[in-house]
């Protein structure tokens, strides 16, 4: 039997996408081992979700360390000690250190609540994204799951799913509808990585999801 993919989840808040991944694993549809949850916010509900499922947790924040190098070394040390194959970002609000991106090249996955490359980049998160979609007058929004590189929201796209933007939408109603699509689809990209059915060629992700 092949070794199950060891995944580390990074979260800063409620962790609803993390919960959706846990649920898919419990259903037998997602074949990864959640080796650790790492968060920068000690009050994040994601920690509670992890404890409820006996998933180890670590609170690691830049403010705990003298400098960026020490912080990065701590993260890398913890990931290496757990033989992490994949890093899954689930509402993580800190920039991933460059050294970590390089070491885990095309092994860090993120989900964004819009159709990249539109409505992404620095400062585009949460309801800001949905308000920007509405302000622009876009007729379609959705989700993008992508690999993480050195620029915000610019890594190779793994999958996208669309959501209609309704005439009477608010940022809140659009966010709610998009979140359901996130929960229904994020696990598919994680499972594709775990099963080895996708590969990256330049900016393109090739294979079956």
Active site residue ranges: 112
Three-state secondary structure call for residue 36: strand
Residue 144 · residue 184 · CB < 8 Å? no
Residue 85 · residue 8 · CB < 8 Å? no
Written as six digits, the tokens of 119 are 């409505």
Written as six digits, the tokens of 70 are 């020490």
User: What distance lies between CA 42 and its chain's CA centroid?
Assistant: 19
Three-state secondary structure call for residue 35: strand
């Amino acid at each position: 039997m092949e070794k199950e993919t060891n995944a580390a989840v990074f979260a800063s808040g409620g962790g609803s996408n993390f919960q959706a991944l846990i649920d898919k694993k419990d259903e037998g549809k997602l074949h990864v081992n959640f080796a650790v949850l790492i968060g920068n916010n000690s009050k994040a509900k994601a920690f509670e979700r992890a404890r409820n499922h006996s998933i180890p947790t670590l609170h690691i924040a830049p403010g705990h360390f003298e400098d960026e190098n020490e912080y990065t070394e701590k993260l890398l040390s913890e990931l290496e000690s757990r033989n992490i194959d994949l890093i899954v970002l689930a509402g993580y609000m800190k920039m991933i250190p460059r050294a970590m991106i390089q070491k885990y090249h095309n092994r860090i996955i993120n989900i964004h609540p819009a159709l990249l490359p539109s409505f992404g980049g620095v400062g585009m998160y949460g309801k800001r994204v949905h308000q920007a979609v509405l302000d622009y007058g876009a007729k379609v929004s959705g989700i993008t799951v992508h690999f993480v590189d050195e620029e915000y929201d610019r890594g190779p796209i793994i999958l996208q799913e669309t959501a209609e933007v309704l005439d009477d939408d608010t940022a809140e109603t659009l966010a709610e509808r998009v979140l359901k699509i996130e929960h229904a689809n994020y696990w598919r990209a994680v499972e594709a990585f775990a099963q080895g059915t996708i590969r990256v060629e330049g900016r393109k992700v090739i294979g079956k999801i």
